[in-house]
Amino acid sequence: MKVLKFGGTSVGSAQRMKEVEILLRQDGKKVVVLSAMSGTTNSLVEIANYLFANKNEIASNLLEGLKSKYLQTVNELYKSDNFKSKAKDLVYSHFNYLLSFTRDLFTIHEEKAVLAQGELLSTALFQLYLEELNVNSVLIPALKFMRIDKDLEPDYFYIQENLNRILEENKSVDIFVTQGFICRNVYGEIDNLKRGGSDYSASLMGVAVKAEEVQIWTDIDGMHNNDPRIVEKTMPIQQLSFDEAAELAYFGAKILHPTSVLPAKKANIPVRLKSTIEPNAFGTLITSQTSGKGIKAIAAKDGISAIKINSGRMLLAYGFLRKVFEIFELFKTSIDMITTSEVAVSVTIDDDKNLNDIKKELEKYGRVEIDRNQTIVCIVGDFISGDKGIANQIFSVLKEIPIRMISYGGSNHNISILINTKDKQLALKELNKLFY
Ligand code: ASP
Ligand code: MG
């Protein structure tokens, strides 16, 4: 069994759905996980916001607009009038449900039900298309087996039991189409795995069915060794270890959602990143193996704030760092990088929502300085600590760039450097020299 996930742009039009069907014409049973058609989830978020604000007329106009896009897709996708009419009924039933919210007061829990319609629609339409082509397939509702527990973590046992039972009940079927992103919570309500969560769905399902491979299909031919928007001639990385991929996914390589690496790593299930535009390209294969020492890729994450706490109290004192970290914990703000000296500590955060409150609390312990508009440049690879020369290579190409923080040795897979965002372009270009 393989699990194949197709993202929003890969199912973003009738034409793209037809291309996905062609890609499925290979042997073996498959679970096919789809996102909502591109743009749909964003539109539904916008519509839900209008419903919250009691602007029901605007919401209803937006829904009518979205509905006509789906009706157009229906016209282009199916050949026979019979299937066109079945598909139209589907579209009408989902939109009638959505429109029902415009006639009532909207509650926070209904938002999840609204968002779920995107994936419910894309999968129902796609599976109906497979039926028209006589492909041996079935639609299996993710809401019957995807579940999160009271801590909002996936309920592995429930998912495994229920997904395998459903597959068992459909033994003769080759292709199981299902929704990414959506699930139920402990109360049985419709919930989701947060934005971009379809990759996570695919990886969780891969673990549940002990898949031979999870494939994530997007528009990009794998994770690249640098940011293609900034550096010319970047290349896809053919092989990455789970740890390397996790570092890269977090640091802005938008192609794979960071949460999806962990389940696959735990169950040791290979994850392959593939492009629907260049299906024959190798892509990136993520496994437990590393493809050798050295630098594999460079990524950058903008929008970082650096916070420095200077305190005489830190000198030869214990418990100081705990007090600092507790403040971040109190404001549910996660810290990315840390560097310390005897009299000061610097940390970075990417969520600065509570920065003013955090600063006030920190000031009880010392003088606080904040630098905004910072970028973490992250160099990912296999650096066995003590490996000679790597730091030297990195800093020699960066000699013109002021560096605010350095983190080395935290793991064998990541060297992070904090710089001002205005220097990012130069840094990425200079670091690219390390690949040649
Ligand atoms: N459709 C959802 C989103 O746009 C989930 C996903 O595509 O991964 O966030
Ligand atoms: Mg995505």
Instruction: Please give the full DSSP string across 305-329, using - where no structure is assigned.
Output: EEEEEE-GGGTT-SSHHHHHHHHHH
Question: Does residue 141 lie within any of the structural domains?
Answer: yes
Q: Looking at residue 142, what DSSP letter applies?
A: G
For residue 138, the Cα-to-chain-centroid distance in whole angstroms is: 26
- When divided into structural domains, the chain yields a total of 2
Q: Classify residue 243: in a domain, yes or no.
A: no
Token reading at 353: 């929502």
Angle at 189 between CA 188 and CA 190, to 5 degrees: 125
Separation between Cα atoms, residue 96 and residue 64, nearest integer Å: 10
Q: Do 23 and 165 share a structural domain?
A: yes
Cα 291 to ligand 2 centre (Å)? 25
Beta bridge partners, 240, equal: 286
Q: What pairing do the DSSP bridges indicate for beta strands 335-340 and 344-349?
A: antiparallel
Q: Map tokens 């459909």 to a residue.
A: 170
Residue type, 56: N
Query: Per-residue pLDDT for the chain (436 aa), expressed as one digit of tens each?
Result: 999 999 999 999 999 999 999 999 998 999 999 999 999 999 999 999 999 999 999 999 999 999 999 999 999 999 999 999 999 999 999 999 999 999 988 887 799 999 999 999 999 999 999 999 999 999 999 999 999 999 999 999 999 999 999 999 999 999 999 999 999 999 999 999 999 999 999 999 999 999 999 999 999 899 999 988 899 989 999 999 999 998 888 876 678 888 999 999 999 999 999 999 999 999 999 999 877 778 899 999 999 999 999 987 766 678 888 989 999 999 999 999 999 988 889 999 999 999 999 999 999 989 999 999 999 999 998 887 566 788 888 999 999 999 999 998 888 888 999 999 999 999 999 999 887 7
Residue 18 inside a domain? The answer is yes
Model pLDDT, residue 291: 73
Q: How many CA atoms lie within 13 A of 23 on its CB side?
A: 25
3-state secondary structure of 392: helix
Asked, for residue 194, whether it belongs to a domain, the answer is: yes
356 forms beta bridges with: none
Kindly state whether residue 259 falls inside one of the protein's structural domains. Answer: no
CATH number reported for the structural domain that contains residue 195 in this entry: 3.40.1160.10
DSSP symbol at 37: P
Ligand at shortest distance from the CA of 198: 1
pLDDT tens per residue, range 176-192: 999 999 999 999 999 99
Atom of ligand 1 nearest to the CA of 196: 8
CA 197–ligand 1 middle distance (angstroms) = 6
Mutate to test the pocket of ligand 1, among 10, 42, 178, 198 (most ligand atoms within 8 A of CB): 198
* Residue of the CA atom closest to atom 8 of ligand 1: 196
Q: Which domain holds residue 190?
A: 2-219
Say whether both 15 and 109 belong to one domain: yes
Give me the CATH number covering residue 383. Answer: 3.30.2130.10
367 belongs to a structural domain: yes
Q: Which tens digits make up the pLDDT trace of 30-62?
A: 999 999 999 999 999 999 999 999 999 999 999
218 near 9, Cβ under 8 Å?
yes
Residue 270 included in any domain: no
Atom of ligand 1 nearest to the CA of 195: 9
E-assigned strands of 17-149? Answer: 30-34, 137-139
385 inside domain: yes
Considering the domain architecture, whether residues 211 and 322 belong to the same structural domain is answered as no
Ion ligand 2 — residues with CB under 5 Å?
A: 7, 196
**Residue 198 C-alpha to ligand 2 middle, in angstroms?**
7
- At 216 the pLDDT is 97
Q: Are residues 33 and 162 both part of a single domain?
A: yes
> Residue 356 — φ and ψ, nearest 5°?
-65, -45
